[in-house]
Amino acid sequence: MKNSTTRSIFSLLLHPTRMVVSDEQDEALKGFVRSLPMLFQTNQGTLLYKGRNELRVFVHEGQEMVVKAFVRPHILNRFIYGILRKSKAQRSYEYARRLRQEGLGSPTPVAWLTERNGLLFTRSYYVSLKSTCPYTYRDIQDGKVVPQSEEERYLRLVARFVARLHDRGMLHRDLSQGNVLFGPGDEVELIDLNRIRFRRVGMEEGCRNLSERLLANRRQREILATTYAEARGFDKAECLKIVSQYNGIKD
């Protein structure tokens, strides 16, 4: 056991960069993935978002790809991610593959890359194909982008998607308005996957997860709650009560 641990640490020191590229991609993509730290340092690609993490769009051999660069964590987590725990980029990639295997939508996962300085983790990068879904759940709330005539249909699509997610033992702990994509047909996709947890999801926890960050007025809550209850075989009135309790809009 001691020799195995020593070999693992020695391997980490010898290979400060780890990378996985999906089998569906060609060999040329590996060079692009290896170059991601430099591309971000020189502000290449099109910036989508910059906060704690950073998202950029790159075009590689005619394919649009979204790359998420995760912020460097504090010193304790740098050690934990460097040795003991999968990076957020690796989890995002693996969870996206798992969702898609279960028939649940998420942008096609392409690759992940992590960097270390010695045994200390520095940054990680997750690569996926750019989603073709034009809307986020936030567009329903804005009331300007999604046609009002389509609102109920999309709300039901989202509720059924979340119900299927929970039925398969997946709880997305960051189920926010910007992380649920949908349209123009019946597509629903989930992004920002590194905070998914895998366990049994009951009615109370499921309804709370559905409503806590996906804001909805009274009519929208009723659509979400009753559709979710129908999909999972729960009591509609009880689901609506829980959804209304935890939703951020009080009316």
**22 and 124 both lie in a single domain:** yes
- From 86, 110, 129, the end of a domain falls on 129
Q: Is residue 116 part of a domain?
A: yes
**7 and 113 both lie in a single domain:** yes
> Could you say which DSSP state residue 131 is in?
P
Cα–Cα distance measured from residue 167 to residue 187, given in angstroms and rounded to the nearest whole number: 19
Confidence at residue 121, expressed as pLDDT on a 0 to 100 scale? 60
Confidence at residue 67, expressed as pLDDT on a 0 to 100 scale? 98
Confidence at residue 9, expressed as pLDDT on a 0 to 100 scale? 45
**103 and 204 both lie in a single domain:** no
Confidence at residue 76, expressed as pLDDT on a 0 to 100 scale? 54
**54 and 171 both lie in a single domain:** no
Confidence at residue 216, expressed as pLDDT on a 0 to 100 scale? 92
- From 129, 164, 194, the end of a domain falls on 129
CB-CB contact of 57 with 46 (8 Å): yes
Structure tokens at 210: 């559905």
Confidence at residue 149, expressed as pLDDT on a 0 to 100 scale? 84
Element (H, E) at 67: strand 63-70
**87 and 179 both lie in a single domain:** no
**87 and 199 both lie in a single domain:** no
- From 84, 103, 129, the end of a domain falls on 129
**196 and 181 both lie in a single domain:** yes
**157 and 100 both lie in a single domain:** no
Confidence at residue 19, expressed as pLDDT on a 0 to 100 scale? 87
Q: What amino acid occupies position 132?
A: T
**121 and 147 both lie in a single domain:** no
Confidence at residue 141, expressed as pLDDT on a 0 to 100 scale? 81
**176 and 101 both lie in a single domain:** no
Range of the domain at 229: 135-246
**139 and 233 both lie in a single domain:** yes
The CATH number of whichever domain residue 192 belongs to comes to 1.10.510.10
Residues of the chain with pLDDT under 50: 1-15, 79, 82
Cα–Cα distance measured from residue 189 to residue 175, given in angstroms and rounded to the nearest whole number: 12
How many structural domains compose the chain? 2
Confidence at residue 24, expressed as pLDDT on a 0 to 100 scale? 75
At 118-159, the pLDDT tens digits run 556 678 999 999 999 999 999 988 777 888 888 999 999 999
Q: Is residue 251 part of a domain?
A: no
**117 and 224 both lie in a single domain:** no
